[in-house]
Amino acid sequence: MSTQKGNVARSRPQKHQNTFSFKNDKFDKSVHTKIFSSTFAKLNKASINTLRIVEPYIAWGVPKPEVNNFLIAQSFGKFDIICMADLIREIYTVGKCFKEANNFLWAFKLSSSRSGMKKTTTYFVEGGDSGNREEQINRLTRRMN
C-alpha cells in the first residue's frame, strides 16, 4: 500500500473497523415522524420519487374538498381566499399563496382507523393499506377522524 495522499498505512487496526452507520438524512429531518400524521405536499417528479422510497410505510393520494368556510375566510381574507374551494384550488394548482395555505394546514394528527389497518405489509393495489390510494385517500381519512 502506498503512502500517497489519501492512502494511509496503519500499524494497528482501527476501532470499529467493520461497522458502518447508515443515516438517511433525507427523511431524518422530517417533522412528520409521528404515527398517523398528515400533511399536504407539492406533487412533482422529485416528491413522487421520495414517496416511492417510503411507500411501504405510508398511504398517500389526492384528496377531495369537504369543509366549513368561516375559518378559511377569517384566516385567508387578505390572500383573496374566502372559501374552501379557493383553498383547495390554491393547494391543487400550487398557486402564489401555496406556502401560506400549506402552513395553515401544516401537519395535522389523525386517529387510528376505526376498522384498523388490515395489511400494512402489502401495497393498496394488492389489497393492502400502504402506497398510493389516488382518489380513495378520502375514505381512509374519514375513517381516521
* Tens-binned pLDDT, residue by residue, of the chain (145 aa): 555 565 655 565 556 555 554 454 554 455 545 666 677 777 788 888 888 888 777 777 777 665 567 767 777 788 888 887 888 888 888 888 888 887 777 665 666 665 555 655 656 555 566 666 666 676 766 666 6
pLDDT of residue 28: 47
C-alpha cell at 135: 382518489
Q: How far apart are CA 44 and CA 141, in angstroms?
A: 22
C-alpha cell at 12: 494497528
φ, ψ (nearest 5 deg) of residue 78: -70, -15
Does residue 104 sit in helix, strand or coil? helix
Residue with cell 452507520: 21
pLDDT of residue 32: 47
CA 61 to chain centre: 10
The two beta strands, 59-61 and 37-38, are: unpaired
- Tally Cβ neighbours within 10 Å of residue 58: 13
